[in-house]
Amino acid sequence: MAEESVNYAEYTVTKKAEGTNLRKRILLLAVYLIYIIAVVTVVVLTKGGGAMWGFLFFLLFIIMVFFSWKLVKEDRKYECLNAKLVISELNEGIGSKPKIVSEDLISSYSLIAPTTEEYREQWSNADEIKDFRGDSKSPDSYFARLEKDGKTTVILFEVTNKMLKVMKFYNSKATVVTTVRR
């Protein structure tokens, strides 16, 4: 199996609440709060309304939170699998499958390096930048530069030591290895 291979690595991150993700979370929490205030107001105005209505509103709230919080919970999985860097978005729920958002041969990248000032020019001036990091300030942030069909795409992601070893194995000339936390 691929997971048992020496040249296999995976890592999963959860998107930190920042930027648009933070705004979405705050908006969703505000909706939850408005719902609770509306339910309490209705119960007070109807002088109790009975336990059945209270239970029904509570059950509806739990269902609403269960399905809506998935909209702001963003998990990403990075895999070095079959000589490819595969990045998937993980969805929660019964029967849901990971959605592959990026998949390219590791050997096809012209540069795999940390997102430090030393390499800033290599990743900041690309035609397209895809940010799949959990935290934009992570010290383990790397980029992979792909030049295909006259277009430059940069993929931002987080790495582990094992991932760097696998990337170095498949693309030794283009991979810059540094010390990372994991």
pLDDT tens for 79-92 read 888 888 888 887 66
**Across 1-5, 54-58, 120-124, 155-159, which has the greatest mean pLDDT?**
155-159
Q: Is the pTM of this model over 0.75?
A: no
- Burial environment of residue 93 by CB neighbours within 10 A (0 to 12, 13 to 18, 19 or more): exposed
CATH 3.30.1680 fits 74-170, yes or no: no
Q: How confident is the model at residue 96 (pLDDT cuts 50, 70, 90)?
A: low
pLDDT at 1: 44
| CA distance from start to end of the chain | 23
Q: How confident is the model at residue 71 (pLDDT cuts 50, 70, 90)?
A: low
Q: What does the alpha-carbon distance between residue 68 and residue 15 come to, in Å, rounded to a whole number? A: 16
